[in-house]
């Protein structure tokens, strides 16, 4: 089934630990995005990638890093997790970053940092 998969579905993590959230899409989309969703704040862009091999910072990039080694995968890493990174994380993709193209979202990862 075409779409975006994210793993894990949920995770409880001790502060200070390193964590990588995985995202894979099979739609051959060039652009991929990571958002965090917090109550009352909507969806905020963490990092994005317009095409494989390139990445950029979004609205709230501090404490997060990404890589885009190939078209399909876009992992998000928390080098040293802090409680303020407790959130629901969504990966999304679109055919390209320009134009008027739909962003497709994954099912999300619920992360709790204690």
Partner 1 sequence: GENVEQHPSTLSVQEGDSAVIKCTYSDSASNYFPWYKQELGKGPQLIIDIRSNVGEKKDQRIAVTLNKTAKHFSLHITETQPEDSAVYFCAAKDDYKLSFGAGTTVTVRA
Residues lying near partner 1 in the complex (CB under 8 A)? 4, 31, 33, 35, 40-45, 48, 50, 58-59, 90, 92, 97-98, 100, 102-108
Shortest Å distance, C-beta 16 to partner 1: 29
Q: Least distance in Å: CB of 114 to partner 1? A: 22
* Mode of pairing for the β-strands spanning 109-113 and 64-66: unpaired
Which residue shows structure tokens 């862009």?
45
> Nearer to partner 1 by C-beta: 80 or 96?
96
Give the shortest CB-42-to-partner 1 separation in angstroms: 4
Closest alpha carbon to 9 in 89, 100, 93: 89
Q: Which is nearer to partner 1, 14 or 99 (CB)?
A: 99
- In angstroms, give the least distance from the CB of 65 to partner 1: 18
Both tokens assigned to 18: 């390193």
Largest CA distance in the chain: 41
Separation CA 81–CA 64 (nearest Å):
9
In the bound state with partner 1, the residue whose beta carbon lies nearer, of 12 and 79, is 12
Are the C-beta atoms of residues 49 and 70 closer than 8 Å to each other? no
């Amino acid at each position: 089934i075409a779409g975006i998969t994210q793993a894990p579905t949920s995770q409880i993590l001790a502060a200070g630990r390193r964590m990588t959230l995985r995202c894979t899409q099979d739609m051959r989309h060039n652009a991929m995005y990571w958002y965090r969703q917090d109550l009352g704040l909507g969806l905020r862009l963490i990092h994005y990638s317009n095409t494989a091999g390139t990445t950029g910072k979004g609205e709230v990039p501090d404490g997060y890093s990404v890589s885009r080694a190939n078209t399909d995968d876009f992992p998000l890493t928390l080098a040293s997790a802090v409680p303020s990174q407790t959130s629901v994380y969504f990966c999304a993709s679109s055919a390209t970053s320009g134009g008027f193209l739909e962003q497709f979202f994954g099912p999300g990862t619920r992360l709790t940092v204690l």
